[in-house]
Amino acid sequence: DQQVKQNSPSLSVQEGRISILNCDYTNSMFDYFLWYKKYPAEGPTFLISISSIKDKNEDGRFTVFLNKSAKHLSLHIVPSQPGDSAVYFCAATSYRFGQNFVFGPGTRLSVLP
Amino acid sequence: NAGVMQNPRHLVRRRGQEARLRCSPMKGHSHVYWYRQLPEEGLKFMVYLQKENIIDESGMPKERFSAEFPKEGPSILRIQQVVRGDSAAYFCASSPTTSGLSYEQYFGPGTRLTVT
């Protein structure tokens, strides 16, 4: 039973345009969400996070939106750059789970020059 | 400040052998987590350890898998009598919290285990 879903395995976007990566979750106990970026042969690197008390968090070109009623979050990258090409993982957790992160399966983003 | 280090980066074992994966957390970090990533899947939590203690092993298979984080030295994930299904990338992460909760986890580059 996948508690965190990323239904698009891949996404292609033109350089300079907006990339929107989506994530859905099923467990209403999750109260903290993170996005990680992963290049081939490297470990995931933290990108941005959001607490359930917020509906938006912005950091430079990256913005995460959270819709708790729909159990949906999205990552917006504007403008997209070729160096953003990577696999993006959505992760969810809760203080009730301790340090246990639940990851989605990932979306492979390709930014075309 | 060196990041999380894992070795070996690649490990090949025949069925039935033992695999030992090592993780050195970032300096000053006392919490270690192990995750497994199967092909085309996300990372799956396996175990969370502090020095000399297993805090949460709810994601660890009940048989053949064990983990430790001794007072001195790296954390070790040990897989006995490996089978082909154990082939995966194993990632270690560390966090700096000494009390309470932290959502900061810094990942190592992973160990890719191949069982032939």
Tell if the CB–CB gap between A99 and B59 is shorter than 8 Å: no
- Strands (DSSP E) found in chain A: 4-5, 10-14, 19-25, 32-38, 45-51, 56-59, 62-67, 72-77, 86-93, 102-103, 107-112
For residue A30, the model assigns a pLDDT of 92
What count of other Cβ atoms lies within 10 Å of the Cβ of residue B36?
A: 22
pLDDT of residue B99: 47
Q: Cβ–Cβ of A101/B55 closer than 8 Å? A: no
Is A37 a residue whose pLDDT tops 60? yes
pLDDT band at A38 (very low <50, low <70, confident <90, very high): very high
pLDDT digits (tens, 9 = 90+) for B28-50: 888 899 999 988 788 999 999 99
Average pLDDT over residues B89-106: 76
Q: Indicate if the pLDDT at residue A64 is higher than 50.
A: yes
Q: Is the pLDDT of residue A94 over 70?
A: yes
Q: What is the pLDDT of residues B67-90, one digit of tens each?
A: 999 999 999 999 999 999 999 999
Residue B34 at interface with chain A, using a CB cutoff of 8 Å: no
* Residue B95 pLDDT exceeds 50: yes
**Which residue, among A7, A25, A99, would best test binding to B if mutated, counting the most B CBs under 10 Å from its CB?**
A99
Whether residue B35 lies within 8 A of chain A, CB to CB, comes out as: yes
